[in-house]
Structure 1
């Protein structure tokens, strides 16, 4: 399923000004945006929560905590279904209900769809490099994907200072080529972390909030009795 690459289109650092002066005084919006991306990339960990609409009209949601070592826990979803995700010990675990797996496997061959009852409500163990889901647990890759098209954060303008979840933030804005309005909220105190990105209008509106920078991420390995091996099931059904 689409995850990190669909989340947002925005994305060495020095901190904001905490002395009451104008945040990032003397720095252009593009300079602030570049420092925010770098600070976010260098952070040990972060919590990511948000949603974005896909070209097919569906909505992808993400609510995960992740660190530089790819330790990860939270939920991912599409539409009205979601699954729990954990990444620990180089292994990715995913747990969804019957509806989640029916949606996830509806485009797969009949043999794969027949596995739905065995996958439902179990922790499904899969290789840590599984591209369909593991991207949300790759913090560095996630940030890199956000900043892949650097032109999207160039030509920005400074807007008002506001708050994101109680933290002071400078809002940077830009009008996109597709009629959308892009915004990045950058922390003005401490490290200039990205606190939120939004896309309003256009084909893929959405909002992603970032927080809990530097907090430990320590997912537990699911109990063996609640775990199934996707690779083993696939071999059995072939």
Structure 2
């Protein structure tokens, strides 16, 4: 995995920073294109400011297994969260978590069909009928639920200390429009870049990886904006018990139809 140069011999991945960077807005001021700034004076305070955000929106794009994936993630300092991710095959997954910690997951028909794998066609069609477009109330004990909602928890995305950030050793250059400072490092043919908004209170604007097997970008915005997340209408929600019952009955119906 490509990384930024650091004063220590260990490396600090910007891919990790893309998941960790959460922020608050800072005023922006124009600078002279080409003007240089140290990471210690611009990068570190930018990330420290981001860590204190009450909320943030992250627009991410990535390429995984030859397919383009993009999504939007809104995270609040509390438990509230909203995420929408579109896979390279066209399917969409939506996740919401309310202030009381209840999580819901919704997948559309395209996502169910694209994830069908080697399942029998009848099984895929049954899943489409049962679950497409329905909100599934997540079982908090399920490993998949924990994996999905971990990205909705600021406390899990931000490290306990800032050692990884503080040890980066780079000099940044003001961009042509004078609004941001660009820090860049190249390793093994992969370019990693961080764009920091200039001003008295610098903040991270964008993180990107160019090249390599997993190119990606993350743009941060709407810092401190309220996140409105509520429970879906009850008639659009399936509880874990209802999901298990529907699935069990569906499997039994398919078995009977095949034996008949």
Bin the TM-score by the shorter chain: 0.7 to 0.9
What's 1:100 paired with? 111
**Residues 1:182 and 2:197 are matched in the alignment:** no
Segments of structure 1 that go 5 or more residues without pairing to the other structure are none
User: CA 1:201 to 1:50, structure 2 compared with 1: closer, same or farther past 3 Å?
Assistant: same
Structure number with higher strand proportion:
1
The match for 1:62 among 49, 67, 71 is 71
The match for 1:212 among 204, 207, 222 is 222
Tell me the SS of whatever aligns to 1:225. helix
**Residues 1:86 and 2:96 are matched in the alignment:** yes
User: CA 1:142 to 1:59, structure 2 compared with 1: closer, same or farther past 3 Å?
Assistant: farther
The match for 1:137 among 152, 157, 166 is 152
Check conservation: 2:37, 2:181, Cα contact below 8 A: no
Counterpart CA distance in 2 for 1:124 and 1:78 is: 19
Shift of 1:207: 1.1
TM-score of the pair, normalised by structure 2: 0.70
User: CA 1:135 to 1:9, structure 2 compared with 1: closer, same or farther past 3 Å?
Assistant: closer
The match for 2:232 among 201, 222, 230 is 222
5 Å matches for 1:1-238?
8=18, 28-54=38-64, 56-79=65-88, 80-88=90-98, 89-104=100-115, 106=117, 114-127=126-139, 130-144=145-159, 150=164, 154-161=168-175, 168-175=179-186, 177-189=187-199, 191-230=201-240, 232-234=242-244, 237=247
User: CA 1:10 to 1:71, structure 2 compared with 1: closer, same or farther past 3 Å?
Assistant: closer
Counterpart CA distance in 2 for 1:235 and 1:158 is: 57
**Any idea what the Cα deviations from partners look like across 1:52-110, whole Å, max 9, x if unmatched?**
122x2233322021111131124113212212221102111122211212334647899
Counterpart CA distance in 1 for 2:115 and 2:240 is: 13
Counterpart CA distance in 1 for 2:75 and 2:36 is: 33
User: CA 1:30 to 1:180, structure 2 compared with 1: closer, same or farther past 3 Å?
Assistant: farther
Aligned length: 225
**Any idea what the Cα deviations from partners look like across 1:142-199, whole Å, max 9, x if unmatched?**
3449x99938982333122366xxx932211111x33111111112135322111111
Tell which structure's C-alpha radius of gyration is larger. 2
Check conservation: 2:91, 2:112, Cα contact below 8 A: no
Tell me the SS of whatever aligns to 1:233. helix
Check conservation: 2:79, 2:152, Cα contact below 8 A: yes
Counterpart CA distance in 1 for 2:106 and 2:151 is: 15
Q: Identify the range of structure 1 (103-112 vs 86-95) with the bigger mean alpha-carbon deviation.
A: 103-112
Check conservation: 1:157, 1:174, Cα contact below 8 A: no
